[in-house]
């Protein structure tokens, strides 16, 4: 039997089908190669080959490449903000437990019953544990004000809390918007359209400046808590529309089948309709989560020093003037790692659940 032509197998076939399949693709491929040829060498020289990494001050930097000494010296401040160094173990413990808990929920090797127990604990016990560990003031832990929280630690805290809060709220709003009860439907429609129609920065300013004016005398709410609530409510409106799109994609027969099985409305919604709807909108949900994660940088505008805030605050140090590009490059890398990880897991989940493929 004759072997297939070399152009029909292996890397040659992939190149021909994906990069040189026509005159337009060939032109774009060659143009991309030329741009990389022109831009990549000087970029690598600045980022790696001529960059300054070792040292502890500005004198160790050269003007030929990036001054990563700045990031190195300020690294732990970028991670924890002004959180006292002797107490940072508390942050580490919480995040280690959180990572282990999330990992156990995402892996297929953990039994379903164990996942259910872990999930309930992560939604009930873990948030209380995290607040106690971060803030202290009890069990002999030193009290640390939220004004000292900062850096990537604060970014992840705000993003995680907002994600966990906006997802169930978004589901309730999506179901309510499709309700046959006029009062419920009208409320959900007004809520969703209002918060989708205003910028997030407006919500944050309202939460930071206006909300305290309407609170009863003697009652205060921490600025960080107000920011988290504002971001949660804002993103729940977008989450609701994504989930509503999934609900509308479910055939009417599925609702009729749930009714024929004798299931109540909420049983049918929880056991039959919602699992299919959420499966269909995985890309949209993850896209909303990624947008939420990036939107957390806006809290810097109301005086909360997340990762972006800590990096920008470090620019005011006269020892490191003129190194803004290195700081922003570091932020870009950190956010890209987290967003890319969420995107890749979304793709894995789609393949695992066979989303979008006909059987």
The predicted model gives 166-173 an average pLDDT of 93
- The confidence score (pLDDT) of residue 37 equals 92
Is 119 in a helix, a strand, or coil? Answer: helix
**Rounded-to-integer distance, Cα 6 and Cα 77, Å:** 56
**Residue carrying structure tokens 């929880």:** 270
- The pair of structure tokens assigned to 332 is 């870009």
The top-scoring range by mean pLDDT among 17-21, 31-35, 205-209 is 31-35
The predicted model gives 154-163 an average pLDDT of 93
Q: Which of the pair, 121 or 108, is modelled with greater confidence?
A: 121
- The confidence score (pLDDT) of residue 62 equals 74
pLDDT confidence tier of residue 6, bands split at 50, 70 and 90: low
Cα–Cα–Cα angle for 222, 226, 231, rounded to 5 degrees: 150
Mean of pLDDT over the chain: 87
Is 306 in a helix, a strand, or coil? Answer: strand
Q: Which of the pair, 198 or 317, is modelled with greater confidence?
A: 198
Q: Which of the pair, 202 or 317, is modelled with greater confidence?
A: 202
pLDDT confidence tier of residue 91, bands split at 50, 70 and 90: very high
**CA contacts within 13 A on the Cβ side of 229:** 11
**pLDDT tens figures, 260-296:** 888 888 888 888 888 888 888 888 899 999 999 999 9
- 23: alpha, beta or left? (left if phi > 0; alpha if psi -120 to 50): alpha
Name the residue among 156, 115, 200 with its Cα closest to residue 339: 156
Q: How far is CA 43 from CA 19, 46, 322, 334, in A?
A: 25, 5, 18, 19
Q: Is the pLDDT of residue 192 over 60?
A: yes
Q: Is the pLDDT of residue 139 over 90?
A: no
pLDDT confidence tier of residue 189, bands split at 50, 70 and 90: very high
- The confidence score (pLDDT) of residue 216 equals 78
The top-scoring range by mean pLDDT among 187-191, 282-286, 346-350 is 187-191
- The confidence score (pLDDT) of residue 107 equals 80
327 contacts 71 by C-beta, under 8 angstroms: yes
> What global pTM score does this model have?
0.86
Say if residue 68 is exposed, middle or buried (CB neighbours under 10 Å; 0-12, 13-18, 19+).
Answer: buried
208 contacts 302 by C-beta, under 8 angstroms: yes
Helices (H), the chain: 10-18, 23-44, 68-80, 88-106, 112-135, 151-177, 182-196, 200-205, 211-214, 223-248, 252-260, 265-268, 274-280, 282-295, 307-314, 324-353
- The pair of structure tokens assigned to 101 is 């808990």
Q: Is the pLDDT of residue 238 over 90?
A: yes
Which residues touch 57 (CB under 8 Å, ≥6 apart)? 69, 73, 319
Q: Which of the pair, 326 or 214, is modelled with greater confidence?
A: 326
DSSP assigned state of 3: P
Out of 4-8, 52-56, 313-317, 338-342, least confident range: 4-8
**pLDDT tens figures, 225-234:** 889 999 999 9
- The pair of structure tokens assigned to 102 is 């999330």
């Amino acid at each position: 039997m004759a072997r297939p032509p070399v152009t029909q197998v292996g890397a040659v076939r992939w190149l021909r089908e994906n990069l040189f399949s026509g005159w337009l693709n060939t032109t774009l491929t060659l143009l991309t190669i030329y741009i990389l040829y022109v831009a990549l060498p000087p970029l690598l020289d600045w980022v790696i080959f001529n960059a300054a990494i070792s040292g502890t001050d500005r004198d160790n930097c050269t003007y030929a490449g990036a001054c990563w000494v700045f990031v190195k010296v300020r690294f732990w401040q970028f991670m924890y903000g002004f959180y006292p160094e002797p107490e940072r173990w508390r942050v580490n413990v919480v995040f280690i437990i959180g990572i282990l808990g999330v990992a156990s929920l995402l892996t297929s090797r953990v039994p379903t019953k164990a996942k259910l127990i872990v999930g309930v604990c992560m939604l009930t016990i873990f948030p209380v544990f995290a607040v106690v560990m971060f803030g202290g003031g009890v069990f002999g832990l030193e009290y640390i004000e939220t004004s000292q929280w900062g850096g990537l630690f604060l970014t992840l805290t705000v993003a995680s809390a907002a994600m966990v809060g906006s997802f169930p709220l978004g589901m309730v709003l999506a179901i309510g918007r499709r309700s046959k009860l006029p009062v419920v439907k009208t409320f959900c429609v007004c809520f969703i359209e209002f918060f989708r129609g205003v910028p997030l920065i407006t919500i944050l300013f309202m939460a930071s400046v206006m909300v305290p004016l309407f609170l009863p005398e003697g009652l205060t709410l921490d600025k960080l808590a107000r920011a988290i609530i504002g971001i949660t409510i804002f993103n729940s409106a977008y989450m609701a529309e994504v989930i509503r799109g999934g609900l509308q994609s479910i055939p009417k027969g599925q609702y009729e089948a749930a009714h024929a099985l004798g299931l109540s409305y909420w049983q049918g919604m929880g056991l039959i309709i919602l699992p299919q709807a959420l499966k269909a909108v995985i890309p949209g949900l993850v896209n909303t989560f990624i947008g939420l994660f990036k939107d957390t940088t806006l809290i810097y505008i109301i005086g909360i020093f997340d990762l972006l805030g800590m990096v920008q605050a470090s620019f005011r140090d006269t020892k490191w003037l003129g190194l803004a590009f290195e700081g922003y490059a570091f932020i870009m890398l950190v956010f890209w790692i987290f967003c890319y990880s969420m995107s890749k897991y979304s793709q894995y989940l789609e393949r695992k659940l066979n989303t979008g493929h006909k059987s």
